[in-house]
Amino acid sequence: MTKGEDPQRFRWRELLDAVTRGHDELDPHPGGPAIQNLDVPNIRSWEPGRVRADWEVPAGLTNLRGELFGGYFGVLADVVLSFVVMTVVEETERFKTNDLEISYFRPALLGTITFEAEVVNRSRSLVHAETRIVRKDGKLLAKANASFSIVRAS
């Protein structure tokens, strides 16, 4: 946020555009220090209610079998689902994750995985969203669903 800017507003679409370009120009980062330090997916494209993002599975987050540590799917899903929520909230709204459910189908190995996220429903106080996580050949690795509370900035 720049000097003189309304602290009750946040430029969600500008953040999505910045992340799509591969960097975050907005300060402070809306996800806080944790998001700045985590290896999170890169947005490939977004439109209202939809986000596509890619992520390279790093060797440092795999188990002894060379599979992505399952708990990290939770981090990735929460971030991507937050991105898709940003496409439908107003500048005067904030949001937080209420719940997150993940179903695992196949392990993620080294290589690129893709997140296809969409808003399922937006009401006045909640957003429900889901993401499919697929590998290059289109096979489904996991699916995550979440709900987010919408809070107006005070």
- Domain count along the chain: 1
Residues of the chain with pLDDT > 70, as a percent, come to 85
Sign of CA dihedral 14, 18, 19, 23: negative
In whole angstroms, what is the distance from residue 147 CA to residue 60 CA? 30
Q: What is the CATH number of the domain that holds 70?
A: 3.10.129.10
Q: Domain residues for 109?
A: 12-152
d(CA 97, CA 117): 15
Q: Tell me the average pLDDT across 108-130.
A: 97
Whether 89 is covered by a domain: the verdict is yes
- Residue 112, in any domain of the structure: yes
Contact indicator for 98, 114 with CB cutoff of 8 Å = no
Per the domain annotation, does 49 fall within a domain?
A: yes
Report the pLDDT value the prediction gives residue 45, as an integer from 0 to 100: 95
- Residue 103 maps to a domain: yes
Determine, yes or no, domain membership for 29: yes
- Amino acid at site 144: A
How confident is the model at residue 1, as a pLDDT? 44
